[in-house]
Amino acid sequence: MNAVGFTQHRPIDDPESLQDLTLPTPVPGPRDLLVRVHAVAVNPVDTKVRGPKPGDPRHDPPKILGWDASGVVEAVGSEVTLFAVGDEVYYAGDYTRPGSNQQLQAVDERIVGHKPASLSHAEAAALPLTTITAWEGMVDRMHIRPGGEDAGKTLLIIGGSGGVGSVVIQLARQFGLKVIATASRPETVQWARELGADEVIDHKGDMPAQLRALGVGSVNYIFSTYFTEQHWDAIVEMLLPQGAVVAIDTAKEIDLGRVKQKSATFAWEFMFTRSMFRTPDMGEQGRLLSEVARLVDAGKISSTVTQTLRPINAENLREAHRQLEGLGVIGKIVLDGWARVE
């Protein structure tokens, strides 16, 4: 089958950073689906895993990236109960297994959702990783109740126009929260507002002062998608007593003691935790993806794809990585279809 991967960690301008490959078809395990991948999306994690590493480690067999896919179930393992051959599915996959940049992928059924029927594969592929991150960050880490019990409370999203922030805005509106997003360019401000943000402030400016100018002052929840260390002083100031913060970046130098007097909650969100450690509740990811698919089909959540590259190959994946590393991407970049089907 066709795939895209690498054997050595290289800068994205090196043609060997991502290469077109021919690999054996995966053999599904007992709880696995064998999915024919129709579309994939790229995420910052792809660029971080692919980039140069100390010691220049080599991979044999090649490393296959990709943690966003939409496709059709081609075969099922002996213990599969949730899906059947022919089902359309979408999922983010498992960090410890080969990724979705291959024509056929084996993935545990418990972390797979039924694809939104109203979306194309390309539109659906934009959603899984960011949807899981957004939902888990709000519901499992900050304990926001999706049924509307926390309606009227305020959520600040630092980085509202990125892949994760774009979904957080939409889910937060469905949960009944007042949504304030950050964005620093006219086009990202417009994107955040179109997705449903009540207010938009500039994370490059004085965020606490901007909140005060809105008559808000402090917020119940803060979802930080990047630069948590740089924004920590502002986060501490903006958070209400007994509030909650979730971060998804790798912030190494933050003083949690500074929010002790507020009895605040701080949590990390890493969407691969459940599959990586095979937690007893890993099936929650499949259930939340299917719930979001229902919201999509009801017209309450939109795909966040802003650019589609065709076909899925090394050249186009290198271009997608290059754009992500430039830090200017709004929403998600998707790759759709294989040039040759095997």
Q: How does pLDDT run across 194-250, given as a tens digit for each residue? A: 999 999 999 999 999 999 999 998 999 999 999 999 999 999 999 999 999 999 998
Average pLDDT over residues 261-266: 96
Note the pTM of the prediction, 2 decimals.
Answer: 0.96
Distance CA 10, CA 299 (A): 41
Distance CA 23, CA 264 (A): 49
With both helix axes pointing from N to C terminus, report the angle between 283-297 and 128-135 in degrees, rounded to the nearest 10.
110
Phi, psi of 211, rounded to the nearest 5 degrees:
-65, -45
pLDDT at residue 342 is higher than 70? no
Distance CA 138, CA 145 (A): 8
Q: How does pLDDT run across 184-199, given as a tens digit for each residue? A: 999 999 999 999 999 9
Domains in the chain and their CATH numbers? 2-127+275-336 (3.90.180.10), 131-268 (3.40.50.720)
321: number of CA atoms within 13 Å, CB side?
26
